[in-house]
Amino acid sequence: MVPMKIAIADDELYVCQQIRECLLQYSTQKNVDMDAPDIYTDCRTLYNTDLSGKRYDVVFMDIDFSGENNIARLFSDSYAVRERCSDGLALGTYLRHILGHQNFDIIYVTSHENYAIHAIPIRPAAFVQKPVTFQKIARALDDMLYYRDISRRIFKCTSNKSLVHVQVSHIRYLNSCGRKVYLQTTDSRISFYGKLSEVQQEPCFSSFIQIHKSYLVNPDYIDHISSNTVFLQGSSHEQLPISRAYQPLVEQWLMKG
């Protein structure tokens, strides 16, 4: 198995060292092969690094750098930065949308509890609340690896009398109408007979968010959320309704990050 490549970005060196020790302990206890993590003590260093050959699997990143090298102003057009000026959010946006590095996870390390909604477009795998402990790091990595495995799974259904295999990570959302369920993927729309309430019990959809009795959304395709609407990424600018009954569930998901 190829070792996991990890970066740690925090302007407090002792926090980087704490995370590194937790990763070493996790690697030993869980038998997960990891390379020694690269450590960056400010955003600009990571920003200026040629990442083309790094291919990190996960980046632990301080969401709110306090150093003088503020880079958020460089990304004034990004949604995350417009909403909250933070080097961690700015750099996450840069890595995701400018470099196009989609096949890695970000785990934000933060002293604050109110950043989740601003980080939606960056799609972090988890949030770790300071002070850092092994239990918190282990839980974040467990969740990341669990959902990464789920995203590789295939959903099977019968559409137009043919068995169809759909990669779950390509499904933007599901919605039901009458006796049919519709899968909206990145490039097609697939329908089959069934009930959304039964389909969502499939383990591969455990990370999806129910926003309405008729809608189940893949959080990886959420751009941002208003009080009653989910805005999806992409040129089609799809908007999905959040019903009043499911607003508490959406708010709970936002707080969990």
- 172 in the same domain as 160: yes
- 159 in the same domain as 142: no
The chain-wide mean pLDDT, for the chain, equals: 84
Is 127 inside any structural domain? yes
Read off the pLDDT of residues 26-67 as tens digits, 9 standing for 90 and up: 999 999 999 999 999 877 778 778 776 778 889 999 887 654
Is 137 inside any structural domain? yes
Tell me 5's DSSP state: P
Is 1 inside any structural domain? no
Tell me the C-alpha to C-alpha distance, in Å, between residue 109 and each of 7, 61, 214, 217, 224: 13, 6, 34, 26, 21
Mean pLDDT of 181-205: 93
- 137 in the same domain as 89: yes
What 3-state class would DSSP assign to 194?
coil
Between 146 and 198, the more confident residue is 198
- 159 in the same domain as 136: no
Long-range contacts from 151-157, C-beta under 8 angstroms, 24+ separation: 151/207, 151/220, 153/203, 153/204, 154/204, 155/183, 155/202, 155/204, 155/205, 157/183, 157/190, 157/192, 157/194
Domain that holds residue 177: 153-256
* pLDDT band at 257; cut points 50, 70, 90: low
pLDDT score for 179: 95
Is 59 inside any structural domain? yes
The distance between the two most distant Cα atoms of the chain, rounded to a whole number of Å, is 62
Q: Which of 118, 133, 150 is the last residue of a domain?
A: 150
Q: What is the CATH number of the domain that holds 202?
A: 2.40.50.1020
Q: Which of 150, 167, 188 is the last residue of a domain?
A: 150
pLDDT score for 100: 55
Q: How many CA atoms lie within 13 A of 54 on its CB side?
A: 22
Is 179 inside any structural domain? yes
- 139 in the same domain as 36: yes
* Token pair recorded at residue 246: 């499911």
Mean pLDDT of 91-111: 75
Is 61 inside any structural domain? yes
Within 10 Å of residue 175's Cβ, how many Cβ atoms?
17
Provide the pairing of β-strand 58-62 with 38-40.
unpaired
pLDDT score for 118: 58
- 190 in the same domain as 74: no
* Token pair recorded at residue 139: 């839980």
- 68 in the same domain as 32: yes
Q: How far apart are CA 163 and CA 8, in angstroms?
A: 44
pLDDT score for 99: 57
- Angle at which helix 134-151 crosses helix 13-30, to 10 degrees, equals 60
- 117 in the same domain as 21: yes
* String of DSSP letters for 242-254: --GGGHHHHHHHH
Number of structural domains in the chain? 2
Q: Which of 111, 129, 150 is the last residue of a domain?
A: 150
pLDDT score for 73: 54
Q: What is the CATH number of the domain that holds 54?
A: 3.40.50.2300
Name the amino acid, one letter, at 38. Answer: D
* Token pair recorded at residue 161: 């009398």
- 94 in the same domain as 210: no
- pTM above 0.85? no
Termini Cα distance of the chain: 29
* Token pair recorded at residue 210: 């129910």
pLDDT score for 115: 61
- 171 in the same domain as 81: no
Is 105 inside any structural domain? yes
* Residue among 58, 97, 66 at smallest CA distance from 80: 97
- 229 in the same domain as 138: no
- 137 in the same domain as 159: no
Is 206 inside any structural domain? yes
Tell me 34's DSSP state: B
* pLDDT band at 76; cut points 50, 70, 90: very low
Residue 178 has pLDDT above 80, yes or no: yes
